[in-house]
Amino acid sequence: MNYLSEMLGIPVIDSTGEKIGVVNDMGIATGEVFPHVTSLAFQGPGKTPFMISWRKYVESVDNDAVRLAVPATDIRFSYLQPDEVLLARDILNKQIVDTQGLKVVRVNDIKLSSSGENQLRLLGADVGARGLLRAVHPMVERAAAAVCKAVGKPLAEDIIAWSYMDLLERSTQQIKLSVSHKTLGELHPADIADIIEQLDPRLRSQVFAQLDTAQAAEAITELDDDELMTEMLEGLSDRDASSMLAMMDPDDAAALIEELDYEKAEKLLRLMGVKEEKAIRKLLGFEEDTAGRIMTSEFVALPSTATVGDAIDAIRKLDEDFESVYYVYTTDPAGVLTGVLSLRTLIVAEHDTRLRDLAYKDVVWVAPDLDQEQVTQEMTKYDLVAIPVCDENRHILGIVTFDDAMDVIAEEHQEDLQIAGLSSGESGSGESVHTFTWFAQRQYWIVVWAIAACAIGAIAVEPQGTAQAITAQGLSTLMPIAIMPVVLLAAMRMTAFVKNSFLEYDEREDEAKPYLGFFIKSTFIGVVLAAVVYLCGELMATTIFAAAQPWVVPTFLACFQGAAAVIAATYASAVIYFAVLVRGEERDNVASGTSLTFAAVLLAALAYTVVGSIPLL
């Protein structure tokens, strides 16, 4: 007896041989690495539920039945203890956290191990396909395993050991899962965020509530979805939410508060301490997507006359949750930035050395209104892990750190992928890993072509006519249908040209948008491509169809003329798609590259359906 699914429903027989019910669950005490089964839950006559102690009453267990050591009249029923969980009720078909694989999985079955005639231990959860098939019926699982083995790809078990499982629907603050267990709260905040993002919406708040305020503050900043961050924050009480925001880095807290409605944001800010509220309000005063918005006000700056020992003492006195210190900045008596020192320089220097004698004077800094993408370019150019943000008088307002720069780079990368019509889940070759997703994103033009072909056929069909006329009609209908893919593929290449041009476009506020130049360039490309298509049609008409019936050549050439006209018009309209991307970026709402491509293909199909049907009418 290796799995819970195989035990559920087997008879429970007392010492006299009488069947008193069927197994419907088993309880375990959670304090062991591989817990013993401690309770047996069974369904008696009239579907009445009972629970008894496994250790006291179970004599043996096998594939056929659970046999008790006493007659039914001597059984004393018990209740589930605080440190116990029921396998079928609390774990089977539930989501759990795999704290080793750092992912959320669903339990399809539970693997057990027998030790002696009457002892069972829980080994772990089966989260793979075998467990799912076994839950349907053991014969289904065995048949699928045999087929997979025959084709050389064995159907392996996917077992998560109990010591790496974390329950989600019972508080881990009340249940000790195992003596060596790594619980959810002990994971890295980024891993906790990944797990929360994988959960069903109904469980997210429940899991988030298991974290203490410091853990929650770190985990929520790692979430990628702004709406999910807001959802987690609004699930807390105002005081808890305010305390959590106060523990966060000011720039992270400001970014999160910005997602809330005005009244909620003001209430949370007023509940904070004066220092934290002031730091966050200062950042909220800067424009979105600028250096001022992503900087942190936590940095170390000392007078240039201070010593190395003074700098080290200042760093030692910082709070534990202070933003990571990468550099120490020096200022003159007026507070003007004069230099910067790395931590390495401080460590190797003598303690009585003046900072002005060690500091690098040619400090790279940025203005608070500089675009955040340009800030990351400056940091990349000079290999900086932090860059100071200064006002026009070079007074330090804050610093942008490496982790904030990485977030900006990741955000810009996602936008570029969206414009290109890709997603982060696609392979390096630019094609989606999943076949159906790949088809939907790349080859949907085939579906458009099929629909447009049906439309052309419907326009050209005549209800009556001779056999010869019907045959000629069918051949003439096939011509525009066969040529249409050239038009659709040209439309796809046009949008690829637009997307590449936009990604290479370096916008400058003081320069006019290059719409006229782009229109001339794209139109020229369209005319050249249209001419090539038309010349190919002429060549085929004069060679392949030279000896054909008189109506064939004019019809064939008319289809190619229509295709050339639609291609030229499509490329002439490229400037519209380019303008959509530029305007979208200005409004921080960039259109998806896939949606633009689909729109271009659909419009080209509609135009060609009209133009290509004219010779058939």
Can you give the residue ranges of every domain in the chain?
A: 4-165, 188-285, 301-404, 439-616
Q: What secondary structure, in 3-state letters, does 92-130 show?
A: CCCEEEECCCCEEEECCEEEEEECCCCCEEEEEEECCHH
Instruction: Return the CATH number of the domain spanning residue range 4-165.
Output: 2.30.30.240
Kindly state the average pLDDT of the residues 336-346: 93
Inter-CA distances, 505 with 412, 498, 500, 515, 600, Å: 14, 10, 9, 12, 21
- Of the candidate ranges 2-16, 95-109, 125-139, the one whose mean pLDDT is the lowest: 95-109
pTM for this model (two decimals) = 0.48
Kindly state the average pLDDT of the residues 79-104: 76
Which residues sit opposite 114 in a β-bridge? Answer: 120
Architecture category of domain 188-285 in CATH: Alpha Horseshoe (1.25)
Other Cβ atoms closer than 10 A to 252: 24
Q: Tokens at residue 174, please?
A: 């009340």
User: Residue 36 contacts by C-beta under 8 Å, 6 or more apart in sequence?
Assistant: 28, 29, 54, 119, 120, 121, 122
Classify domain 301-404 at the CATH topology level. CBS-domain (3.10.580)
Which of these, 362, 367, 363, 361, lies nearest to 398 by C-alpha position? Answer: 367
Regarding predicted confidence, which is higher, 541 or 601? Answer: 601
> Which pLDDT value is given to residue 100?
58
> Which pLDDT value is given to residue 413?
65
Kindly state the average pLDDT of the residues 72-97: 83
Kindly state the average pLDDT of the residues 337-354: 93
Backbone angles phi, psi at 439, to 5 degrees: -65, -45
User: Residue 26 contacts by C-beta under 8 Å, 6 or more apart in sequence?
Assistant: 4, 7, 37, 39, 40, 41, 54, 86, 87, 88, 120
Q: Confirm if 7 and 68 have CB atoms less than 8 A apart.
A: no
Q: Confirm if 8 and 92 have CB atoms less than 8 A apart.
A: no
What's the pLDDT band for 428 if we cut at 50, 70, 90? very low
Kindly state the average pLDDT of the residues 562-576: 90
pLDDT tens, residue by residue, 27-64? 988 776 668 889 999 998 888 888 999 989 999 988 88
> Which pLDDT value is given to residue 446?
61
Kindly state the average pLDDT of the residues 96-102: 62
What's the pLDDT band for 546 if we cut at 50, 70, 90? low
Q: Tokens at residue 390, please?
A: 């200064």
Classify domain 439-616 at the CATH topology level. Tetracycline Repressor; domain 2 (1.10.357)
> Which pLDDT value is given to residue 468?
45
Considering the chain, what is the average pLDDT of its residues? Answer: 78
> Which pLDDT value is given to residue 1?
52
**Cα–Cα dist 172/356, whole Å:** 53
pLDDT tens, residue by residue, 443-479? 556 666 666 666 665 555 444 444 444 444 545 566 7
Q: Is pLDDT above 60 for 593?
A: yes
